[in-house]
Amino acid sequence: MAEHGLGHIGRVRDWECVTQDGCAEKRALRLAQGDLPDIFFRAALTNEEVASLASAGQLVDLAPMLEQYAPNFSALMERDPTIRLSTYFTSRAVDFITGVSDIEAEWDEYVDTMKSMGIEEGIAIYQEAYDNYMAKLNG
């Protein structure tokens, strides 16, 4: 475990680095012991683990806190729906590519979520930007 100081704000972070090969075992052990860190970073939690932790109140959804603690980012996402859509798209693409999520089992839910987030509007925004770019380029 390594300590990284944040002395200027009176805090210290303890980092526990685990190899990719040992991650699943270490995570399962920590979950079984109830010895959870404040933050899981790149932990590749399965959907079942997320659901279990959330229902036990051990995993906190930070989305409701965005407006209070990150108002500028929250406002930016409200003004530009493609940001939230892009973030979701990217994270799900990584999950599908790495095998963390089963693309065949979760595809319909993924498409429904993308539609509910306004993918049609996102596509229209990108198309308009592309058309404007091409008009200036050829112009």
The reply to whether 125 and 65 lie within a common domain is yes
The reply to whether 139 and 88 lie within a common domain is yes
This prediction's pTM:
0.42
Asked if residue 14 lies in contact with residue 3, where contact means CB atoms within 8 angstroms, the answer is: yes
Amino acid at 6: L
The per-residue pLDDT for 2 is 46
Q: 72, 77, 57, 66: which is closest to 117 by C-alpha?
A: 77
Asked if residue 74 lies in contact with residue 66, where contact means CB atoms within 8 angstroms, the answer is: yes
- Average pLDDT along the chain, 139 residues, taken 10 residues at a time: 54 73 81 77 72 77 82 84 78 79 86 84 79 90
Please state, in angstroms and as integers, the Cα–Cα distance from residue 74 to each residue in 52, 60, 102, 113, following that order.
27, 18, 30, 19
Instruction: Quote the distance between the C-alpha of residue 12 and its chain's center.
Output: 25
The reply to whether 50 and 110 lie within a common domain is no
54: its two tokens: 């959330």
Give the structural domain span for 8.
Answer: 1-60
Counted domains in the chain: 2
The reply to whether 124 and 56 lie within a common domain is no
Instruction: Quote the distance between the C-alpha of residue 18 and its chain's center.
Output: 20
